[in-house]
Structure 1
Amino acid sequence: MSEPSAPRASSPDAPGAASLVALRGVSYAYEEGPTVLSGLDFDVVAGRALALLGRNGSGKTTLMRLLSGGLRPAAGGLTLQGVPVSYDRKGLTRLRTTVQLVVQDPDDQLFAASVEQDVSFGPLNLGLPDAEVRARVAEALAALDITALADRPTHLLSYGQRKRTAIAGAVAMRPRVLILDEPTAGLDPDGQERLLDTLGRLRDAGTTVVMATHDVDLALRWADDAALLTPSGVRTGPVAEQLAHRELLAGAGLQLPWGIAVRELLHRQGLLPATEEAPRTPEELAHLFTPSPARRAP
């Protein structure tokens, strides 16, 4: 099977693209360290679930912190719905009511005595009325399925519960963009499925989700688009196209996803039409070869 041509970096001017948050010509280097990102253009498009992939040290965390205002570009700028972001109190408040970042380790984010107190911290800092804060907290706890944990001390939570609490704290800010750093890391399979179900509900409710992950199979299953951080820059496009390109995957330190490898094998064996999408899960693969009721009928 011939390998697809290298996809181009996404264009903010593509028809139908509506960037909520964008980096334009951004460069960043840590003090006394090498340049991590240089001349970067990057868009978070409304309504598109985006997987951010790359090897350790490729700049994923730096990119996420630039998008959320935790870092300020050395060159270039950040825009929010086309308007440049200022890094004063007013500008950052505007950004953080639209974009929320949840870090990989929930213990770096949780600090209040109870779940409810922790989730209420952000809305309280916005100066919202008590009734509005209570409504947002209740909504976020319900969205993450942790209402029963509202009064639980945070230090008594399991790892998965701490992850969900950290995400609930971000959701309580009602962001339009939710950025998650390795959200499934450290979770057992059941915990991963529950979290993915939750993210699906948030997406259905209108939240644009960006997820950094090393798991190419998860990215293929979950995302609409994939952004691969490679030595030649960031390459963004539809997830199945991006994750079928071996050269890009190698540059990002990644392997071919299971579903893409299965699709290529089935194509070579003449068992799957060339137009058929890759199965994203074992269940989808089984469904492809399950006889329809009409075929099973005598």
Structure 2
Amino acid sequence: MSEPVLVALRGASYAYEDGPTVLSGLDFSVRAGRALALLGRNGSGKTTLMRLLSGGLRPHTGQLTVGDDPVRYDRKGLTRLRTTVQLVVQDPDDQLFAASVAQDVSFGPLNLGLPDTAVRARVAEALAALDITALADRPTHLLSYGQRKRTAIAGAVAMRPRVLILDEPTAGLDPDGQERLLATLDGLRGSGTTVVMATHDVDLALRWADDTALLTPSGVVTGPAATTLARTDLLEQAGLRLPWGIAVTGLLRAQGLLPALSPGPRTADELAAMVPGLGPVTLPRP
């Protein structure tokens, strides 16, 4: 890959107090412009990895770098890191605390010491990016779950990070909410934000990600999504099932309906387009 590395862990290890080592000797990087999905069973270290990348945790050994520069864990160093990397946690109620949507989204830019005009511009930009401008004055406790998710992401986007890390962003959303959020993420990527998503949904990872990182007991394996998610040995180690699209691709090739080097379908719509006369296809629920 030729894309520049935005943030990386080099030889990083971490163990919680009075607990086993969660990550050991980890080399992991996030490259500009590549949509990256993190997958693994519960307890595999996904949350720890995300918190290390965003500066919420400090590796016991090894180092975190932004570009080629090691991160310093003082106020100045962490402020620089958080203008590069932002983490949005799974439960928006763990992140929202202000009285209104606009106040919550403005918190990060205000802490950067920006003038009021710049803060207002960033808030307006973030609300528009998440399609929640109409909710600016809405009390956060009156938001729906999906609206709270979008508000939490808007708060991170207002920091204008180069890397946006999302922990299970589609969890708890209905199908329409998931599609709207994915469209929003595509818009953010189009404007230059590199997005990292932790998820248990292998079908979503195959559809959305350029690359996947599988967290297994023997280490982290990163590669192109279609290739990595076809590795049944790695999926078994990571406690994951074969994605629907990969399974269907194998069946189509076995029946002579898809050339060996042609990419397989990632969605039901793509499958219907590949097989004329098949008609609408409904994906099985995970």
C-alpha RMSD of matched pairs (Å): 0.7
In 2, the alpha carbon distance for the partners of 1:242 and 1:120 equals 39
For residue 38 of structure 1, the aligned residue among 21, 24, 39 is 24
1:11-160 pair list within 5 angstroms: 15-160=1-146
Amino acid at match of 2:14: Y
Q: Secondary structure at the match of 1:234?
A: strand
In 2, the alpha carbon distance for the partners of 1:152 and 1:101 equals 23
TM-score (norm 1): 0.92
In 2, the alpha carbon distance for the partners of 1:41 and 1:47 equals 19
Show CA shifts across 1:249-280 (max 9, x none): 00110000000000001111111100111201
In 2, the alpha carbon distance for the partners of 1:272 and 1:278 equals 8
In 1, the alpha carbon distance for the partners of 2:3 and 2:136 equals 39
- Deviation of 1:289 (Å): 1.7
Amino acid at match of 1:95: L
Q: Secondary structure at the match of 2:6?
A: strand
In 2, the alpha carbon distance for the partners of 1:278 and 1:184 equals 24
In 2, the alpha carbon distance for the partners of 1:276 and 1:54 equals 28
Q: Contact 2:45 / 2:215 at 8 angstroms: preserved in 1?
A: yes
Q: Secondary structure at the match of 1:148?
A: helix
- Deviation of 1:290 (Å): 2.8
Q: Does 1:188 align with 2:174?
A: yes
Unaligned regions of 5+ residues in structure 1, if any? 1-14, 292-298
Show CA shifts across 1:223-268 (max 9, x none): 0000000011000000000000000000110000000000001111
In 1, the alpha carbon distance for the partners of 2:254 and 2:272 equals 18
For residue 225 of structure 2, the aligned residue among 213, 219, 239 is 239
In 1, the alpha carbon distance for the partners of 2:234 and 2:190 equals 30
1:206-245 pair list within 5 angstroms: 206-245=192-231
Q: Secondary structure at the match of 2:251?
A: helix
Aligned to 1:250: 236
Q: Say which structure, 1 or 2, has more relative contact order (CA 8 Å, 6+ apart).
A: 1
In 1, the alpha carbon distance for the partners of 2:191 and 2:19 equals 41
Show CA shifts across 1:119-149 (max 9, x none): 0000000000100000000000000000000
Percentage of pairs with the same residue: 82
In 1, the alpha carbon distance for the partners of 2:58 and 2:265 equals 40
- Deviation of 1:110 (Å): 0.1
TM-score (norm 2): 0.96
Amino acid at match of 2:229: L
- Deviation of 1:17 (Å): 3.6
Aligned to 2:251: 265
In 1, the alpha carbon distance for the partners of 2:181 and 2:2 equals 30
Aligned to 2:183: 197
Show CA shifts across 1:87-137 (max 9, x none): 000000000001000000000000000000000000000000100000000
